[in-house]
């Protein structure tokens, strides 16, 4: 499609803005000019008609004109410059001054002469083809008859006319002046619109250059100066916020890769050492004492478990559908929590884990919910001192996990559920900083709420609240 609209859309934005401004000004100027011309025309016509209605021909001149028409006597010069004066009798005979083109006699003129209607205003064309504005009114003319006394004649009318060109020429001149001024105004408006468009779109050009620079160099430190409170300033602030967020996200990803590499290196090194010891024992034929062999195998299992947890966190975070919950079904939260507790006790055999679990059924994705509870318990195991206690309580849909560790500083609490974030005090401990963010996502997808807070007497209390009921629904609750 190559129509005018398509061609306009193909223009640069500043050209379209300038064209829009010029078009708007052209329409406004045209409307004003047309209104000015029509108002002026109406006023001039009204003034001309009022002048015609108020004009009365002197009776002496009419008497001379009558004598000229009846007896072809000498007619003195007309004192009415620019006016055509014509006498009309009841039979429709018209007489005008010599050299003056005659006007046609209409029914309206005869009605005025006969006294049937007041003087009308109408437009006619004279004998020379000139358009005239005519006003007719009845008159009484004193006419001498032979040598006797003068006699008044009342069956006469006088038509006076002015050419329409008297106002037509000024109106034509006014139209050309308005057209010239409108053209200058439109051209000036187009130039002004182009200047305004260039000035107004300068921040957009800066934003475009910044985006292209980021795309070319991946430099997320670029910031656009923000001036004012308009839409462009809002767009600039949004871009700055976006690049800052991307830079922070990239930094966190880099930190995650570094942390994951560190966490992977430690168990892999230990695994390699233990495997080499077992292989060397087989190669040399020197049997490892049973207690030492069991310790080696336990260490291998623990390191593999840690590797599996870290890789599982990374896979969970990298899944493209991680933000979308799977099919929900009714889950016994107390049973899921017991299964997670069994795994937690294996990871912290020296700890005392108490449980008080009341029945509670929720709608959730079973595997994701169990993983979330395991992550919360793993945090409690990680930060609990040797020989410490972990208290787990489930009551009316509120699951609390309380440890007696060092606790979390108040200034770090707002960040504990952020991805890639790790407390400075926990950087030397195993973990990737992903566990709690996965927990928060799972809980929110199930319609619940999670919070961490300092526990009375020291330690941290994690609370998960999920909507549900103490009894399962009769339909099994699948969605």
What is the domain-level CATH number for residue 465?
3.30.565.10
* pLDDT value at residue 392: 92
Q: What strands, in cross-sheet order, belong to the sheet with 389-395?
A: 352-357, 389-395, 398-402, 460-465, 449-454
Whether 6 maps to a domain, the answer reads: no
Structural domain span for residue 49: 11-200
CATH at residue 285: 1.10.287.130
On whether both 249 and 353 belong to a single domain, the answer is no
Instruction: Name 121's bridge partners.
Output: 135
Max mean pLDDT among 17-26, 57-66, 226-235, 356-365 falls in 356-365
Q: Which residue has the higher pLDDT, 421 or 227?
A: 227
Is residue 470 classed as helix, strand or coil in its secondary structure?
coil
How confident is the model over 232-241, as a mean pLDDT? 81
Instruction: Name 400's bridge partners.
Output: 393, 463
Confidence of residue 430 (pLDDT cuts 50, 70, 90): low
Percent residues over pLDDT 70 in the chain: 82
On whether both 298 and 335 belong to a single domain, the answer is no
On whether both 18 and 162 belong to a single domain, the answer is yes
On whether both 182 and 48 belong to a single domain, the answer is yes
Please name which of 426, 401, 398 lies closest in space to residue 412, comparing C-alpha atoms.
Answer: 426
Sequence-ordered list of residues with C-beta below 8 angstroms from that of 19, at least 6 positions apart, any chain: 8, 11, 190, 193
* pLDDT value at residue 1: 45
pLDDT in tens, 182-216: 888 888 877 877 787 777 677 777 777 877 887 88
Q: How far apart are CA 75 and CA 97, in angstroms?
A: 8
pLDDT exceeds 80 at position 406 = yes
Give the HSE-up count for residue 274: Cα atoms under 13 Å, Cβ half-sphere. 19
On whether both 435 and 342 belong to a single domain, the answer is yes
On whether both 296 and 375 belong to a single domain, the answer is no
**Final residue before a domain boundary, out of 180, 200, 220:** 200
On whether both 298 and 334 belong to a single domain, the answer is no
On whether both 129 and 181 belong to a single domain, the answer is yes
* pLDDT value at residue 14: 67
Helix (H) or strand (E) holding 150: strand 150-163
Please name which of 270, 357, 350, 362 lies closest in space to residue 307, comparing C-alpha atoms.
Answer: 270
Sequence-ordered list of residues with C-beta below 8 angstroms from that of 129, at least 6 positions apart, any chain: none
Confidence of residue 147 (pLDDT cuts 50, 70, 90): very low
**Final residue before a domain boundary, out of 179, 200, 221:** 200
Confidence of residue 315 (pLDDT cuts 50, 70, 90): low
Q: How far apart are CA 353 and CA 404, in angstroms?
A: 11
Q: How many CB atoms lie within 10 A of CB 131?
A: 13
Confidence of residue 179 (pLDDT cuts 50, 70, 90): confident
Domain count, the chain: 3
What tokens appear for 267 in the block?
């168990």
On whether both 274 and 155 belong to a single domain, the answer is no
Q: How many CB atoms lie within 10 A of CB 182?
A: 18
What does DSSP say about strands 131-144 and 121-125: parallel, antiparallel, or unpaired?
antiparallel
Percent residues over pLDDT 90 in the chain: 7
How confident is the model over 345-362, as a mean pLDDT? 87
How confident is the model over 150-166, as a mean pLDDT? 80
Max mean pLDDT among 52-56, 189-193, 291-295 falls in 52-56
Confidence of residue 479 (pLDDT cuts 50, 70, 90): very low
Q: Which residue has the higher pLDDT, 305 or 216?
A: 216
Whether 259 maps to a domain, the answer reads: yes
* pLDDT value at residue 123: 84
Q: How far apart are CA 476 and CA 69, in angstroms?
A: 120
pLDDT exceeds 60 at position 258 = yes
Q: How far apart are CA 220 and CA 248, in angstroms?
A: 9
Whether 1 maps to a domain, the answer reads: no
Whether 205 maps to a domain, the answer reads: no
Please name which of 267, 249, 246 lies closest in space to residue 257, comparing C-alpha atoms.
Answer: 249
Please name which of 410, 421, 454, 419 lies closest in space to residue 440, comparing C-alpha atoms.
Answer: 419
pLDDT exceeds 90 at position 464 = yes
- Judge whether 408 and 423 are in contact, CB under 8 Å: yes
What does DSSP say about strands 352-357 and 389-395: parallel, antiparallel, or unpaired?
parallel
* pLDDT value at residue 209: 80
Lowest mean pLDDT among 164-178, 182-196, 262-276, 333-347: 262-276
**Final residue before a domain boundary, out of 182, 200, 218:** 200
Whether 226 maps to a domain, the answer reads: no
How confident is the model over 139-155, as a mean pLDDT? 66
Whether 291 maps to a domain, the answer reads: yes
On whether both 107 and 165 belong to a single domain, the answer is yes
pLDDT exceeds 80 at position 381 = yes
How confident is the model over 307-336, as a mean pLDDT? 70
Whether 46 maps to a domain, the answer reads: yes
Q: How far apart are CA 72 and CA 52, in angstroms?
A: 28
On whether both 296 and 344 belong to a single domain, the answer is no
* pLDDT value at residue 53: 84
Q: How far apart are CA 34 and CA 27, in angstroms?
A: 10
Q: Which residue has the tokens 């006003």?
A: 135
Q: What are phi and psi of 153, to 5 degrees?
A: -120, 120
Cα–Cα distances in angstroms (integers) from residue 48 to residues 109, 307, 345, in the given order: 19, 104, 111
On whether both 344 and 276 belong to a single domain, the answer is no
pLDDT in tens, 101-138: 888 888 888 888 877 767 678 888 888 888 888 888 88
| Helix axes of 165-200 and 202-217: crossing angle, nearest 10 degrees | 30
pLDDT in tens, 15-38: 777 777 778 888 888 888 889 889
Whether 162 maps to a domain, the answer reads: yes
Mean pLDDT across the chain, nearest whole number? 79
How confident is the model over 76-104, as a mean pLDDT? 80
Q: How far apart are CA 33 and CA 174, in angstroms?
A: 10
Cα–Cα distances in angstroms (integers) from residue 82 to residues 40, 65, 105, in the given order: 22, 17, 20
């Amino acid at each position: 499609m190559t129509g005018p609209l398509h061609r306009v859309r193909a223009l640069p934005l500043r050209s379209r803005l300038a064209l829009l401004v010029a078009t708007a000004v052209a329409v406004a100027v045209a409307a004003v000019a047309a209104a000015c011309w029509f108002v002026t025309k109406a006023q001039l016509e009204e003034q001309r008609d009022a002048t015609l209605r108020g004009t009365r021909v002197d009776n002496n001149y009419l008497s001379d004109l009558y004598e000229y028409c009846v007896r072809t006597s000498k007619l003195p010069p007309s004192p009415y410059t620019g006016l055509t004066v014509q006498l009309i009798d009841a039979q429709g005979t018209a007489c005008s001054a010599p050299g003056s083109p005659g006007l046609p006699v209409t029914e309206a003129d005869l009605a005025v002469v006969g006294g049937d209607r007041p003087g009308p205003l109408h437009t006619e064309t004279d004998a020379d083809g000139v358009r005239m504005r005519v006003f007719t009114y009845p008159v009484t003319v004193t006419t001498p008859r032979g040598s006797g006394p003068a006699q008044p004649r009342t069956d006469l009318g006088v038509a006076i006319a002015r050419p329409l060109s008297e106002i037509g020429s000024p109106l034509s001149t006014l139209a050309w002046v308005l057209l010239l001024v409108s053209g200058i105004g439109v051209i000036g408006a187009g130039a002004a619109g182009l200047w305004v468009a260039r000035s107004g779109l300068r921040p957009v050009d800066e934003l475009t250059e910044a985006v292209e620079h980021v795309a070319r160099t991946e430099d997320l430190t670029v910031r656009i100066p923000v001036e004012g409170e308009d839409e462009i300033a809002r767009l600039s602030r949004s871009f700055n916020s976006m690049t800052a967020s991307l830079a922070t996200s990239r930094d966190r990803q880099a930190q995650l890769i570094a942390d994951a590499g560190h966490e992977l290196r430690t168990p892999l090194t230990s695994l390699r050492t233990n495997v080499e010891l077992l292989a060397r024992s087989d190669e040399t034929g020197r049997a490892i004492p049973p207690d030492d062999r069991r310790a080696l195998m336990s260490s291998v299992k623990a390191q593999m478990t840690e590797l599996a947890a870290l890789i599982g966190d990374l896979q969970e975070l990298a899944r493209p559908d991680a933000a979308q919950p799977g099919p929900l079904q009714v889950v016994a939260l107390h049973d899921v929590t017991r299964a997670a507790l069994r795994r937690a006790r294996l990871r912290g055999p020296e700890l005392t884990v108490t449980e008080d679990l009341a029945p509670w059924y929720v709608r959730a994705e079973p595997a994701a919910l169990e993983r979330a509870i395991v992550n919360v318990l793993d945090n409690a195991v990680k930060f609990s001192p040797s020989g410490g206690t972990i208290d787990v309580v489930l009551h009316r849909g509120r699951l609390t996990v309380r440890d007696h560790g060092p606790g979390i500083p108040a200034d770090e609490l707002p960040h504990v559920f952020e991805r890639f974030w790790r407390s400075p005090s926990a950087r030397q401990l195993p973990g990737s900083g992903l566990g709690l963010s996965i927990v928060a996502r799972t809980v929110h997808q199930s319609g619940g709420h999670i919070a961490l807070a300092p526990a009375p007497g020291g330690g941290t209390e994690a609370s998960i609240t999920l909507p549900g009921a103490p009894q399962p629904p009769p339909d099994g609750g699948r969605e």
